[in-house]
Structure 1
Amino acid sequence: MFHDIKAIRKAALCAFPHTIPIFAGFWFLGLTYGIYMNVSGFSFWYPMFMSMTIFAGSVEFVTVNMLLGAFNPIQALAMAFMINARHLFYGLSMLDKFRDTGAKKIYLIFGMCDETFSINYTADIPDNVDRGWFMFFVTLFNQFYWVSGSTLGGIFGSLIHFNTEGIDFVMTAMFTVIFMEQWLKEKQHASAFIGIGISLLCLILFGSDNFIIPAMLAILGILTLIRKPLENKLQD
């Protein structure tokens, strides 16, 4: 028993430094999300429990408008699925790494956001550190940063007395930053150009209120079809 506790503590201490860069980003976005929920008319319970149960930043921002709009569960399901469709590929990449992690696998699957996937997939875990517990604590720490940030934003949002007009633009800004980070990381930008082109085409065809789901379906389908040629080109 003592050995197990010692191994768990060692994994937690090893995982924590890897999550420090995530802390600042998650707290800032979490606070912004909590404030956004507050100025939209929701108490802090909403961002707190949504962060605990949904834990998907972009979907949580989108959910604000869904809660304020007409009840449409099919649209909500489709939107959530398409926004997080990339997690299908994350899951396939983590099949081997999640093997033999026992009951922890359930939480590892639930809590796998972009940043957690990046750390758990690329981290060089020491041989004397339990791999399952390391990934568990990376996931737990990152979710704690997001939940605590969004909760505090929801609590103190009512105490902030300044003009919050335009704060909902943070979601657009977040996606822009993610896009630019991916642009800088990629050696070739075929997928980015495809995404921009299809989005503009769907915007013209379906209008600003209805283009997102068709655009994401088309992007996912086309990138799936040309995935092999793109990978072969990168290896050349």
Structure 2
Amino acid sequence: MIQFCPDTTRLETANLGVALFCAEREFLGTLMSPNNSRIIQMFGRGQRDLKRLKAVKQSLEQTIQKQRDELCDLEQIQKFASLHVNHLRMTRFMPCRIASTPEEELQTLFNELVELQRDEDDKHSPTINRMLDAVFSQQEFSSYIRRDVEVDVPIFRTRDTVPYAYQNGRLNLIKPVEFATRRSSVISKASRNAVEGKSIYENPDEEYGELQLVVVGSFEKTKPSEVETAKRIFEDHQVRLFTTEQIDELTNDIVTHGHKLD
């Protein structure tokens, strides 16, 4: 495990990544969390220099990759891990059974030990992501769209990564959301995203300035009543909503009112 320890006098840690060594297949790989959501969830944002921590994580990954040929047996791997015992530390390598390829096993370990659990209703959101990615990968949008933007959500004291964003006076954070069939679930999810959106809207980001949340929602069979319910909730909290059937309206807004990237 690769962990963050905010206070070395205590043993409280947050899992930030995993490393897997397989001598038989000459495999040494790492997978690190791209953001600091787990740290903020467990310890709060505090006064930590999270940008520096991101650089330290990247440096560790690069060091491991550069020394792959030297780290060719378990003894050398364990010695390397023992040298990293500060705020960013590596635990001792533990034996595990690899049931698939090392790459697949590394991803499985990361999902189980590092990645935050997602809401059950979000299980289909990758489908919306693929849809949006296909659209935004087109040449005409390449000069407008930012990807993987990290911003603070003050109301929840978290730092989230939004997959897409574009500027039109405010930085519009495009967030795909899968809404379930139950009306109660639609209201609950819309309300949470609305609270998040209002908090983002009212608290300018140090790096990006003023923000606005733009939800791209997938609704079961696009029930008009559910869409209208979510829309009313969002409008009261300065959140814009586009259904998956309204992607053309969103893309038209981007090319009409969006500012090109520097």
Relative to the length of structure 2, the TM-score reads: 0.29
Which structure ranks higher in relative contact order (CA pairs < 8 Å, sequence separation ≥ 6)?
Answer: 1
Would you tell me which structure has more strand in proportion to its own residues? Answer: 2
Would you tell me which structure has more helix in proportion to its own residues? Answer: 1
Greater Rg by CA: 2
Relative to the length of structure 1, the TM-score reads: 0.32
